[in-house]
């Protein structure tokens, strides 16, 4: 899911759930509420105020908001200034822990795990794949970006090297995107690394399809929403050659992440986990 857009600035869980339901590709007929097939879809929420719950020490200075796996001042974020952004190990542990729980409790096919996201969610999918390169069969960042945060193990060159372990990296973008502009270093450097060392091919979505209600061509996601069944069929054809023990791998990666700061209470962590799970 993306960062709060113009129609979701109330930042309430209900509005974000509504937004997810509106944006998620639908692989079942409308009105069907029982289990269909053997798919598990996970769409975590990322309220900006979660940074306060996680504790200031976990994400930098006071007043920062949470944008998936980094925190940043809101004004700086809106101006694409990530010089003061901080990696957020709390968010990393929460999402990796969520996946570990799912793979422990459910019969997940470890060969068929897919990470997708749009806009800030595209960044989130890339960062999660960077943390867990042996897990996904495919990563699909749509209209995404990736800022390097020096000295924080959050680097676009390292990202591309780690993503070599993923069978398919499938970026989608509109060349006329006015939000995640191609000339922005957080976009240009990302695609240079993905297309170079990583060997990924960017699918360029037409401006007509990506136009969106704001006319900023930031909705390459409509490539998915226009024909969701086609997209899912293409995606699900990609599988890892060998299945690893996903639960064991995820628990191992969880242990390798930075420890939680002392300022983060277990109560806050439980509150965040409950909200995500």
CA distance 37 to 109: 13
Question: Has residue 199 got a pLDDT over 60?
Answer: yes
Q: What DSSP string describes the chain?
A: --S--GGGTT--HHHHHHHHHHHSPP-S-TT--S--TT---------TTHHHHH-HHHHSSTTEEEETTEEEEHHHHHTT--TT-EE-HHHHHHHHHHHHHHHHHS---TT--EEEEETHHHHHHHHHHHH-TTS-SEEEEES-----BTTTTB-HHHHHHHGGGSSEE--EE-TT-SSS-TTSHHHHHHHHHHHTTT----EEPPHHHH-TTTTSS--TTHHHHHSHHHHHHHHHT---SS---HHHHHHHHHHHSPPPPTTS-HHHHHHHHHHH-
Q: Is the Cβ–Cβ distance between 43 and 1 less than 8 Å?
A: yes
Arithmetic mean of pLDDT, 97-101: 91
Provide the percentage of residues in the chain whose pLDDT is more than 70.
73
Which region among 5-9, 103-107, 136-140 has the lowest average model confidence (pLDDT)? 5-9
pTM, two decimal places: 0.83
Instruction: Mention the CATH class of domain 109-241.
Output: alpha beta
Question: Has residue 209 got a pLDDT over 90?
Answer: yes
pLDDT attached to residue 276: 38
pLDDT attached to residue 144: 95
Arithmetic mean of pLDDT, 130-143: 96
pLDDT in tens, 20-65: 666 665 655 666 655 556 677 777 767 666 665 555 444 445 567 8
Question: Has residue 271 got a pLDDT over 90?
Answer: no
User: Any idea where the domains of the chain sit in the sequence?
Assistant: 6-24+44-107, 109-241
Question: Has residue 159 got a pLDDT over 90?
Answer: yes
pLDDT attached to residue 7: 45
Which region among 81-90, 148-157, 174-183 has the lowest average model confidence (pLDDT)? 81-90
Arithmetic mean of pLDDT, 64-87: 87
Question: Has residue 265 got a pLDDT over 90?
Answer: no
CA distance 249 to 253: 6
């Amino acid at each position: 899911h993306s960062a709060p857009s113009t129609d979701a600035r109330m930042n309430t869980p209900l509005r974000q759930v509504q937004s997810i339901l509106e944006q998620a590709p639908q692989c079942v007929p409308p009105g069907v509420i029982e289990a269909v097939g053997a798919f598990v879809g996970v769409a975590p929420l990322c309220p900006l105020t979660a940074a306060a719950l996680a504790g200031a020490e976990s994400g930098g200075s006071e007043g920062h908001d949470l944008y998936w796996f980094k925190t940043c001042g809101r004004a700086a974020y809106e101006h694409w200034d990530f010089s003061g952004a901080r990696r957020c190990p709390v968010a990393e542990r929460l999402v990796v822990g969520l996946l570990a729980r799912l793979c422990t409790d459910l019969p997940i096919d470890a060969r068929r795990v897919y990470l997708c996201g749009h806009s800030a969610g595209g960044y989130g999918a890339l960062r999660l794949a960077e943390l867990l390169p042996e897990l996904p069969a495919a990563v699909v960042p749509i209209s995404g970006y990736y800022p390097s945060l020096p000295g924080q193990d959050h680097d676009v060159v390292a990202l591309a090297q780690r993503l070599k372990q993923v069978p398919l990296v499938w970026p989608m973008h509109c060349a006329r995107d006015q939000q995640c502009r191609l000339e922005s270093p957080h976009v240009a450097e990302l695609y240079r690394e993905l297309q170079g060392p990583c060997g990924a091919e960017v699918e360029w979505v037409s401006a007509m399809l990506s136009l969106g209600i704001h006319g900023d061509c930031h909705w390459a996601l409509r490539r998915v929403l226009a024909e969701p069944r086609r997209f899912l069929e293409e995606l699900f054809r990609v599988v890892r050659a060998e299945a690893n023990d996903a639960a064991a791998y995820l628990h191992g990666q969880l242990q390798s992440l930075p420890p939680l700061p002392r300022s983060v209470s277990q109560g806050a962590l439980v509150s965040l986990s409950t909200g995500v799970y």
